Amino acid sequence: MSYGLLDDIQEFTAYVLGGSKVPYVPYNEDGDWEEWLPKYENQTTGLGEETSGCTIWASQNQLETLYKFLYKEEPNYAERFNYLLAGIVPYRGGDPQDAHESIRKDGVIDNRYLPMPEHLEQYLDDSDITGSLLAQGQYWLKRHDYKHEWLWTKRPANYIDILKDALQTSPIAVSVSAWNRVGDEYVSYGDVNNHYCLLYKIEDGHPWIFDSYDHSKKKLSKDHNIRRAKRIWLNKKTPRAMRRHISILQSIVNMLMSKKTLLDVCKAAINTDASPKNYADNELACAESVTTLLKQVYPDTPIILGTWTLRDYLNDPKNGYVKQTVPSPETIIISPTGSGKGYGHVGIYTQDNVIASNTSFGINKGKFLENYTTESWIRKYKEKQSMPIYLYKHI
């Protein structure tokens, strides 16, 4: 079955992340847009004849979802308007770039002015696109700013992380492989992408999409072959909408200004038990303490109890850490157990030459203290215990 996405998608380098100056504002911090999904509209005529317009349905679903989130209004735009103007070919499909460009250049109109007819012949009759309807589309453009951009030209290995980050800014329109169900998820077959739909959240590594064909929400496999992904930007230019938008932006600024840094969290933990759940014994709680602190700033951080496992986690680029040669505040220093003669250790720099870590012995056992300098760490772990020293910092 043809789902309407042309596989020979155009390359538009000016419309790739960072190249088209689309504002990157984290409106929705958790990246879950399910609450604001649009009302379902069947992607066929009354007789079920039209199956080629997924690029139009996905781009409008994306726009309507963001609109509802930003302005607490629920528009219902006419897919047929942009379908005809974007040049969708029946039984073949279209390029999603053309669908988004039609919104940017032609605008959108309310569905009541160009509703779904009964027959495909009626649907494809472009004589219904009157000058009045074209003027309505241009009037929408005068009252709205709409921009769009691809998230990559060639999909990188960490594409799920990129999608999760971009989902903070808007729901994402994606190309997918439709449909091969295995258990409760949909997997790809080969390199085929034949459908375009709305990605509205990523949960436990699984992308979830809103499908225009059957009004369903589908869970994709974690490695689903999402070849293309596009985010959008919308700004409504009426006074009331501008006030609403400004209030959202102000709340984002307030959130970012008040967001704790790792240094803030470490300073607040000094002279306390930084791992109060005590998954590990107090004398062996250095990795638990550090990951408990990291989790307060980077919520995806797992609680790790071993320094060797923690070193592997920090060494994996997808987790957001890079190696350093010169420490600075918030640098993590680690000499993992199993790499030398004794027990390893991990701490966090709170100053250029001061390291805080779990205290393993004495009256302060189990407390997070500023208890090392670079020199004393080197003497103990490198010179006495023949352990390597690794430095990492979150980017």
Q: What structural domains and CATH numbers belong to the chain?
A: 13-252 (3.90.70.10), 262-394 (3.90.1720.10)
What's the rounded mean pLDDT across residues 118-124?
Answer: 86
For tokens 């420490």, the residue is 327
CB within 8 Å of 11: residues ≥ 6 apart: 153
H or E element at residue 137: helix 131-143
Strands in the chain per DSSP E: 144-150, 172-176, 181-182, 185-186, 195-203, 206-211, 216-219, 229-236, 321-323, 332-335, 345-351, 354-358, 368-372, 390-394
Please answer whether residues 44 and 38 qualify as being in contact, where contact means their C-beta atoms are separated by less than 8 angstroms: no
pLDDT of residue 12: 44
What's the rounded mean pLDDT across residues 136-152?
Answer: 96
Confidence bin at 7 (pLDDT 50/70/90): low
Q: Of 4-13, 106-115, 134-143, 221-230, which gets the smallest average pLDDT?
A: 4-13
pLDDT of residue 117: 84
* Residue 91 or residue 84, greater confidence: 84
Q: Convert the pLDDT of each residue in 269-305 to its tens digit.
A: 999 999 988 898 888 899 999 999 999 888 889 999 9
What's the rounded mean pLDDT across residues 376-394?
Answer: 95
pLDDT of residue 1: 46
- Sign for the CA dihedral angle at 303, 307, 312, 314 comes to positive
Q: Convert the pLDDT of each residue in 310-357 to its tens digit.
A: 999 999 989 999 999 999 999 999 999 998 888 899 999 999 899 999
Please answer whether residues 340 and 384 qualify as being in contact, where contact means their C-beta atoms are separated by less than 8 angstroms: no
Three-state secondary structure call for residue 118: coil
Of 257, 267, 259, 261, which is closest to residue 351 (Cα–Cα)?
A: 267
